[in-house]
Structure 1
Amino acid sequence: MNKSNNSGIVEQFVNTVMGVKSGNQQQSLNTSIATTQELDIKAVLVYILGTILQILVMILVLLGMKKLVMLIDNNSSFPSWVSTLLTGLFFALLSIRSRIFSLLDNTRSRQTYDQVIRPRWSPPPLVFPIVWMIIAVLRVISSVLVWQQMNHQFLVLPLILFVVHLALGDTWNTIFTVERRLGAAVPVVILGPWLSALVVTAIYWQTNPIAGMTLSFSCVWLTVAAVLVFRIWQLNGSEPLYPLKLAPANQ
């Protein structure tokens, strides 16, 4: 009984930190179904524009952080560690809640994962927020190391690519978790979160090898996630690898 209670407390804590809705907290997600094999051009444009806007907003936020940290660093009344602490908190916010800068619906929910057919080796749902919480910590550490290496600058290529990676991950979440477009989710997870993670890790490594090594775990996990997304697509009908036009399920 104690083990069950402890497990429930851990699950609630992890889901709260990572913003995952489960159980009674789940919102009603997309209940639409594909009625044709026709490409949903509007959805493609929404994904592209939504991702670009999120990237631009986060770059503006990087600019704001640059100015704020510059003020702190130039003010002798602040200890030297204040700007580092503030930067760490900022990267923690980005790593855990980057979706607050997105105009797309980025609801984190287990509903899609719970309802689709999954391979036998697929991890239990609770594993995902736990692993992402660990990755968030690694992202913070590696990004702070890069920021320090770049002389407390935020508008630098490694950190800009980092926010691009986060935005691509949020868009993929919209496609897979919210809209349950299992086909479109396959190329997007490969060309988006997975590929961008490799690029960010490589450029972090060039900037600061320890930062690159720290972030490399996310590449391993995203490789597993990409394979899992591919297998889920295969097991659930292998719909076309692009977003299909949807119609409400009750029609």
Structure 2
Amino acid sequence: MNQANNMGILEKFVNTVMGVKTANQQSANTAIATTQELDITAVVVYKLGTILQIVTMLLVLLGMEKLVNLIDSNSAVPSWVSTVLTSLFFAVFSLRSRIFSLLDNTRSRQTYDQVIRPKWSPAPLVFPIVWMIIAVLRVISSVLVWQEMNHQFLVLPFILFVVHLAFGDTWNTIFTVERRLGAAVPVVIFGPWLSALVVTAIYWQTNPVAGMILSFSCVWLTVAAVLVLRIWQLNGSEPLYPLKRTPVVSS
């Protein structure tokens, strides 16, 4: 009984930190695919949403750089203050990058719980735990890179990092929120997975320790990409693009 209670507390804590909603959120209105036609509107929305998120986060980086420069130039402020502030900043970026997105980025287990999954697929609770660990590793590696870049924020490693986070949030919209299992396959490969490799490489080039720390995310995203591919195969292998949908009211 105590073990079950402890697991329940752990699950609640992890889901709270990561913003994962576990309740069934099905609405009376659902959307179903009726044709094999490409949903051009969805493609445009995804692209615009991703671009706007990237631009917004870059502006935030610029603002953060100016703030830290002011702190560093003030001799009355201890040197560690900017490091602590930067750590908190990257923690927000790593845990809540979706607040900068105009797309619906609700974190929910609903899709994962309902689709057919391979036998080796991790338990639902594993995902928020691993992503919480990755968030910590992102903060540590980013602070190391920030120190190496003389406390600058609007630099190539962080620009690529922002792009990677935006790609991940857009993928979440496609897979978790809208349950487009086909479109999620190429997006996860050419979005979060590929960009993670690029970010890790540039971090490694800037500071080898930072690159090694961040490399764990590449391993996890490789597993995630393979899992998304298998889920797509096991659930009908719909076309690898967003299908046009029409709303229907369930009785």
TM bucket (normalised to shorter chain) is over 0.9
Q: How many Å separate the matches in 1 of 2:196 and 2:231?
A: 21
Q: What is the letter of the counterpart of residue 46 of structure 2?
A: Y
Q: How many Å separate the matches in 1 of 2:84 and 2:94?
A: 15
Per-residue CA deviation, residues 204-251 of structure 1 (Å, 9 max, x unaligned), is 000000000000000000000000000000000000000000112437
Q: Corresponding residue for 2:6?
A: 6
Q: What is the letter of the counterpart of residue 4 of structure 1?
A: A
TM-score by length of 2: 0.98
Question: Deviation of residue 77 (structure 1)?
Answer: 1.1
1:27 aligns with 2:25: yes
Per-residue CA deviation, residues 44-82 of structure 1 (Å, 9 max, x unaligned), is 000000000000000000001001000100011111000
Q: Corresponding residue for 1:80?
A: 79
Q: How many Å separate the matches in 1 of 2:136 and 2:19?
A: 15
Q: Matched residue of 2:249: which SS?
A: coil
1:18 aligns with 2:9: no
Instruction: Give the 5 Å matches for 1:143-222.
Output: 143-222=142-221
Q: Matched residue of 2:117: which SS?
A: coil
TM-score by length of 1: 0.98
Q: How many Å separate the matches in 1 of 2:191 and 2:81?
A: 34
Q: Matched residue of 2:36: which SS?
A: strand
Q: Corresponding residue for 1:42?
A: 41
Q: What is the letter of the counterpart of residue 66 of structure 2?
A: K
Percent identity of paired positions between Structure 1 and Structure 2: 84
Question: Deviation of residue 31 (structure 1)?
Answer: 2.4
**Distance change >3 Å, CA 249–CA 118, structure 1 → 2:** farther
Q: Corresponding residue for 1:228?
A: 227
Q: How many Å separate the matches in 1 of 2:248 and 2:114?
A: 16
Q: What value does the CA root-mean-square deviation take over the aligned residues? A: 1.0
Q: Matched residue of 2:245: which SS?
A: strand
Per-residue CA deviation, residues 9-36 of structure 1 (Å, 9 max, x unaligned), is 000000000000013xx43378211000
Per-residue CA deviation, residues 168-202 of structure 1 (Å, 9 max, x unaligned), is 00000000000000000000000000000000000
- Segments of structure 2 that go 5 or more residues without pairing to the other structure are none
Q: How many Å separate the matches in 2 of 1:85 and 1:156?
A: 20
Per-residue CA deviation, residues 151-183 of structure 1 (Å, 9 max, x unaligned), is 000000000100100000000000000000000
Q: Matched residue of 1:246: which SS?
A: strand
Q: How many Å separate the matches in 1 of 2:167 and 2:204?
A: 21
Instruction: Give the 5 Å matches for 1:58-69.
Output: 58-69=57-68
Q: Aligned residues, how many?
A: 249
Q: How many Å separate the matches in 2 of 1:250 and 1:100?
A: 30
Q: How many Å separate the matches in 2 of 1:210 and 1:248?
A: 50
Per-residue CA deviation, residues 117-136 of structure 1 (Å, 9 max, x unaligned), is 00000000000000000000
